[in-house]
Amino acid sequence: MLGGAAGYSLIEGWSFDQSLYRTILAVTTVESPAPASTAGRVLTVVLLVAGVGAALYTFTLLATVVVEGGLPKRIERRRRAHMIESLHDHFILCGYGRIGRIIARQLKRQSVPFVVIERDPEAVQAAMRDGALAVEADASQEEVLRRVGIDRARGLIAAVGTDAENVYAVLSARVMRPDLFIVGRAETEDATVKLKRAGASRVVSPYEIGGMQIAQTALRPAVVDFVELATSSDNLELAMEEITIGAGSALANRSILDINLRQRFGVIVVGIQRQDLRMEFNPEPDMIIGGGDKLVVLGRPESLRRLETEAGEHGGART
């Protein structure tokens, strides 16, 4: 600026303020008639410098956001938040460690919507790479549970790394949703008791189940193979499922023989879980199925879907 002003003074013979004014116009590429007074030229110079400086600074900030990935990250966060807000009848999976990844894989195979809550940033990135919705937060915080839609959720699975964290997550979820189905992971027997007291609907110990599975495989390998075949989500020929009989369904308050499940749907009734959680295995043909009971049935996936439709609250007409 000073060099340009000095050059104009020497070459054109202008005064310093006129030379500086012309220099500012040349640098900012602005065409403007020169004000008559020196004060007017000073004000014009200030406005030009401030305006161009603000424009360049704003451009620099935008370029930094784009180059450093800030804008794409914000867009991605908003997209994930919108997807979480649209979730209904989903599971909230707390923890994405070894157990959490297996659970997420099974939920994804069966096309069950879910969202992951994990405090470890690396685990959150791993969950997103696996195609899951994930939130980096503490699962025991009520605000976090509210953000992932606990009021619309189908259930919550507490599979964090420590028993204490699982207890806190279960307790927070139970306070917010007294009717929510909650599964808790326990490492020790003491944790099993505490999780049940905190409000867990079911408590699972991976070590205990693993030990029982090994023992059963050694003693009854054929039985274990059959159960794995019936419960595997990869099996397209045979599946075991639980189906709730709606109170207003045409199947409610009728016997197994009267409904004719075997001939109509091609399924085998393995057991009936009553509303008081009492399980009746291998039920007799004349046993009555009440509204709200759950049928544990074995059959082809398409047969199970037809039965599930018929068992809905308003499914089908009496035959």
Q: Is the pLDDT of residue 35 over 60?
A: no
pLDDT above 70 coverage of the chain, percent: 87
Q: Is the pLDDT of residue 311 over 90?
A: no
Candidate ranges 93-102, 224-233, 265-274; pick with highest mean pLDDT: 93-102
Mean pLDDT, residues 216-234 taken together: 77
Q: What is the DSSP string of 198-236?
A: HT-SEEE-HHHHHHHHHHHHHH-HHHHHHHHHHH-TT-S
Q: Is the pLDDT of residue 28 over 80?
A: no
Mean pLDDT, residues 35-60 taken together: 73
Closest CA to 297 of 204, 230, 202, 200: 230
Assess contact for 148 and 91: CB atoms under 8 A.
no
Is the pLDDT higher at 247 or at 51? 247
Closest CA to 166 of 209, 203, 210: 203
What's the confidence (pLDDT) of residue 170? 94
Q: Can you give the pTM of this predicted structure?
A: 0.64
Mean pLDDT, residues 198-226 taken together: 87
Sign of the torsion formed by the C-alpha atoms of 128, 134, 135 and 136: negative
What's the confidence (pLDDT) of residue 210? 86
Calculate the dihedral angle through the C-alpha atoms of 94, 97, 101, 102, rounding to the nearest 10 degrees: -100
CATH 3.30.70.1450 in the chain: give the residue spans: 235-310
pLDDT band of residue 150 (cuts 50, 70, 90) is very high
List Cα–Cα distances, 242 to 69, 79, 82, 296, in angstroms: 47, 34, 32, 4
Assess contact for 209 and 259: CB atoms under 8 A.
no
Give the number of other Cβ atoms within 10 Å of residue 315's Cβ: 18
Helix spans in the chain (H):
2-12, 16-28, 38-67, 70-85, 98-109, 121-129, 142-147, 163-176, 189-198, 206-219, 221-231, 256-259, 261-265, 301-310
Of the candidate CATH numbers 3.40.120.10, 3.30.70.1450, 3.30.160.40, 1.20.140.10, the domain formed by 235-310 belongs to 3.30.70.1450
Give the number of other Cβ atoms within 10 Å of residue 96's Cβ: 28
Specify the amino acid at residue 185: R
Element holding 110 (H helix, E strand): none
Give the number of other Cβ atoms within 10 Å of residue 192's Cβ: 19
- Tell me which fold the domain 73-210 belongs to: Rossmann fold (3.40.50)
Residues 57-99 pLDDT 10s: 888 887 776 666 556 667 777 888 888 888 899 999 999 999 9
Q: Is the pLDDT of residue 318 over 80?
A: no
What's the confidence (pLDDT) of residue 316? 44
Mean pLDDT, residues 257-279 taken together: 87
Q: What is the DSSP string of 114-161?
A: EEEEES-HHHHHHHHHTT-EEEES-TT-HHHHHHTTGGG-SEEEE--S
Tell me the average pLDDT of the chain.
84
Strands of 268-273's sheet in order across: 239-244, 294-299, 268-273, 279-281
Give the number of other Cβ atoms within 10 Å of residue 193's Cβ: 12
CATH 3.40.50.720 in the chain: give the residue spans: 73-210
The neighbouring-strand residues paired with 157 are 93, 183
Assess contact for 250 and 264: CB atoms under 8 A.
no
